[in-house]
Structure 1
Amino acid sequence: MSWNRHNILAILLGATAIGGYVSYQNYRNRKRSEAIFHITPSPLKTTIPTLSVDQISKLAYGPDTLPSARQVETPWGSIRVYEYGPEDGHKVLFIPGISTPCISFRGLTNEFVKKGCRVMLFDLYGRGYSDNPTYYQHTEHLYIAQILSVLSSSKLSWTTPNAFSIIGYSLGGGIAATFTRYYPSMVSSLVLLCTSGLVREKNVSWRSYWLYRTEGIIPSFITKYFVAKRLHNPSALRIHTDEEGGIDLEDAVAAELGPDSKETRVMDAAVQWQLDHHEGFVDAFMSGIRHAPITNQHAAFRVIGRRLDEQRARGHGYEQGMIGGQLVLILGRTDPIVLVDEMEPDMMETVGSENVHTIILDAGHEVPISIPGQVADCLWKFWKGHEFRVG
């Protein structure tokens, strides 16, 4: 190929156009972050009012699927909250994963209510029936503010010392840990189910790296298109490891659903309906992957570990620290996302081996969905064995 001034001019014009577009996108994203964010309403405000009573009754996750619902208004949008069980029971707060609404805890909360607990659960921003603050980064700070809004909305006191146990699932585990880092006095027990926070970055595929770690370079509408397409594709909702190794981050959706069963089919339907009817879900999912506490949360866990060391050194019991002086780590033996052989030693190294009580169950990443009874029984046994008192 002979190079002449026309070839060179075409290349220069192309490079200028690309550079100009990237600069424009960066400017646009910066202005968005500086602007007052827009609240994308949940299906409770957009879709549900258009449905008949019969149509609503057939939804996998309808407005009345879980008992005692309420909407909590916050500066970042409205939150869907459920609170039920004996008012004088031990309080347990549940933090869901990145893709499923809080119906994923239905089986587990029912088990704890049977044991006399008071439970509270809610949809993360952009999921289920909670609004999404568009253009607002889904960092641990946003989720901590959401938790505080949820706790303060109860007619009961959830903010006194040792007020409640917190159970975080997947992304919810990373959120629960960061909350406990900053508000340790409220938490009587920290329970991490197939948790994020210490997931090793090397396990992330190159495809996900370019989709999620190049924000401002790849236009957001292109990223959103590919993410939404994959999440809507039924074949995408099965664990996929690329040919070079590594997990695509959208696989978290498949992992939270787990193997085919009656309950996971309900979860699948709930997630697909959410994809179709919650305009803020894909944005929330993408922002959570980029900014939420999924990896590199060693600092938060080290703080928790030091406090547990101090609790043990001072001989503090339940009234002055976590039950049993340990956080509880529950893992699925066949979990393809949070690997037992990595998470257990990484957690023990970061927090301290004496500060971690590990439970490994025969399940995948969908532990709270597929075997809620086993999870509740194991956790209850641990609590009861360490001077746990109901009330």
Structure 2
Amino acid sequence: MEAISKCLAVPKESGSTALIATTVVTTISLVSLARYTLWPKKHPIIPGPLTTTIPKLSEAEIAQITYRPDYFPGARDVVTPYGNIRVYEFGPEDGRKVLLIHGISTSCMTLKDIAEPLAKKGCRVMLFDLFGRGYSDAPGDVPYDTRLFVTQILLVLASSPLSWTGENGLSIIGYSLGGGIAANFAATFPHMVESLILLAPAGLIRPENFGRASRLVFTTGIIPERLLAWLTKLRLRQPIASSVAKRVKKAGAAANGLRQGEDGKENLLDVATQEAVDPVDEPPQTAFELEVISFVHWVLDFHHGFVPAFMSTVRHAPLMDQQGYWRQLAKRKPGTTAVLLGTDDTLIQRDDYVEDALPLIGGEENVFWRVVPGSHNFPFTHAADALERIYEFWAME
């Protein structure tokens, strides 16, 4: 009987081992599947629409895009290790060299009504699409931080047949995120930047102005990457209905963190929506605002690197806590730095910036500081007012 019992015990032990092995394999498979599904592999370069979409479209379909590849004259594609960059350069070759840098969610089209009049005034202007925006490719495996954007500027400047990088080689106009990038670039290469104009610049947005849920969702990694990308894309499709002026609280912590801040706070996606639409004005928006919104929606459909680039920018770009760079701006020659803020801007709040930014960069005796009509998107809703201040700053007729 004892021998029989031992024999009968073997199958039981084997069955237990088989069950454990099956459980382990299943668990590993499920974890791997979840990781692949929710935390996708990052590619070095995510191609932009110029190579993935535009070649498949007819001329009539391309003509329907509000920001077309030939939107500005002097277009070129700059090949870099980070992917291709879409650049435009036009205006008199011997004019003041002006580089314009757009914001977080749009393309350089938003600075059209600043760039074109400057070129007509005799400036040599250069615009480009930030990585992952417009027609520029998206690096997929690096953080979208100051290092990446400063490198992109250097690559863009080096692509010109003209010299842009010498002593006092250029002036920079940066809007929103572009203002934060421009400030950090000028602080890093002070000799290169003759004059610096910051339009509703990011960089010193107070973290407490954003809701806790919004910061938690984007900065902790508790929401799986693919799910967060889906929520972000969904939110960016509704810049008008979900604008900051319509503060209707919604249930759901993750959705609330993406749709609006709690306790009247902004949320991190308001950086994007306020570049596309004025949250103070009621619909209908201006014709150009609608064009900007249309292109944001087009990019969401046809630029696969846009949402990953946007999410990384929210996490790593110079939106907040850039005091170290801004202190360096105080060392600039008096009268070579200008800051323009919108009267109704709820994102870059003028009172906050008067208190936080103005002392850092040397005070009113050192900086050309003006408030112009409009909200956060005043560079294209009130471009004439912004241009008037720019002409005043440069003493242009």
Q: TM-score range by the shorter chain?
A: 0.7 to 0.9
1:87-166 → structure 2 map (5 Å cutoff): 87-166=93-172
Q: What code does the residue aligned with 1:221 have?
A: R
Matched, 1:224 2:235: no
CA contact (8 A) 1:332 1:340 kept: yes
CA contact (8 A) 1:237 1:251 kept: no
Displacement of 1:258: 2.7
1:136-181 deviations in whole A, cap 9, x for unaligned?
1001000001000000000110011111110110001110011111
Q: 1:342 to 1:384 in 2, by over 3 A?
A: same
Displacement of 1:326: 4.0
Q: Please provide the CA RMSD for this pair.
A: 2.3
Aligned length: 347
Gaps spanning 5+ residues in structure 2: where?
Answer: 1-22, 248-259, 279-284
Aligned equivalents of 2:172 and 2:321: distance in 1? 21
Query: What TM-score, normalized by structure 2, do the two folds share?
Result: 0.83
Tell me what 1:255 maps to.
274
Q: What code does the residue aligned with 1:368 have?
A: P
Aligned equivalents of 2:87 and 2:319: distance in 1? 24
CA contact (8 A) 2:214 2:261 kept: no
Tell me what 1:246 maps to.
265
Aligned equivalents of 1:351 and 1:122: distance in 2? 27
Q: What code does the residue aligned with 1:224 have?
A: A
- Structure 1 stretches of at least 4 aligned residues deviating more than 6 Å after TM superposition: none
Tell me what 1:371 maps to.
382
Aligned equivalents of 1:175 and 1:151: distance in 2? 15
CA contact (8 A) 1:94 1:168 kept: yes
Matched, 1:332 2:342: yes
Q: 1:298 to 1:46 in 2, by over 3 A?
A: same
What secondary structure sits across from 1:358 in the alignment? strand
Q: What code does the residue aligned with 1:232 have?
A: R
Displacement of 1:213: 1.0
Displacement of 1:237: 4.8
**1:355 maps to which of 352, 361, 366:** 366
CA contact (8 A) 2:87 2:127 kept: yes
Aligned equivalents of 1:75 and 1:48: distance in 2? 22
Tell me what 2:302 maps to.
277
What secondary structure sits across from 1:77 in the alignment? coil
1:250-296 deviations in whole A, cap 9, x for unaligned?
11222112331011111111111111110000000000000000000
1:73-106 deviations in whole A, cap 9, x for unaligned?
1110000000001111101000110001100011
CA contact (8 A) 2:240 2:277 kept: no
Tell me what 2:257 maps to.
none
CA contact (8 A) 1:236 1:251 kept: no
Tell me what 1:79 maps to.
85
Aligned equivalents of 2:309 and 2:108: distance in 1? 15
Displacement of 1:113: 1.1
Matched, 1:233 2:252: no
What secondary structure sits across from 1:325 in the alignment? coil
Gaps spanning 5+ residues in structure 1: where?
Answer: 1-12, 312-323
**1:196 maps to which of 202, 208, 211:** 202
**2:189 maps to which of 183, 190, 214:** 183
What secondary structure sits across from 1:162 in the alignment? coil
What secondary structure sits across from 1:295 in the alignment? coil
Aligned equivalents of 2:58 and 2:98: distance in 1? 34
Displacement of 1:32: 6.5
Aligned equivalents of 1:126 and 1:95: distance in 2? 14
Displacement of 1:378: 1.1
Identity %: 41
Tell me what 2:351 maps to.
341
CA contact (8 A) 2:176 2:201 kept: yes
Aligned equivalents of 1:46 and 1:237: distance in 2? 30
Displacement of 1:21: 6.4
**1:301 maps to which of 326, 330, 334:** 326
Q: What code does the residue aligned with 1:197 have?
A: G
Aligned equivalents of 2:72 and 2:179: distance in 1? 22
Q: What code does the residue aligned with 1:131 have?
A: D
What secondary structure sits across from 1:166 in the alignment? strand
Q: 1:368 to 1:235 in 2, by over 3 A?
A: closer
CA contact (8 A) 2:164 2:170 kept: yes
Which is higher, the Rg of structure 1 or of structure 2? 2
Aligned equivalents of 1:102 and 1:114: distance in 2? 18
What secondary structure sits across from 1:184 in the alignment? coil
Q: 1:186 to 1:199 in 2, by over 3 A?
A: same
CA contact (8 A) 2:102 2:130 kept: yes
What secondary structure sits across from 1:107 in the alignment? helix
What secondary structure sits across from 1:253 in the alignment? helix
Aligned equivalents of 2:242 and 2:124: distance in 1? 33
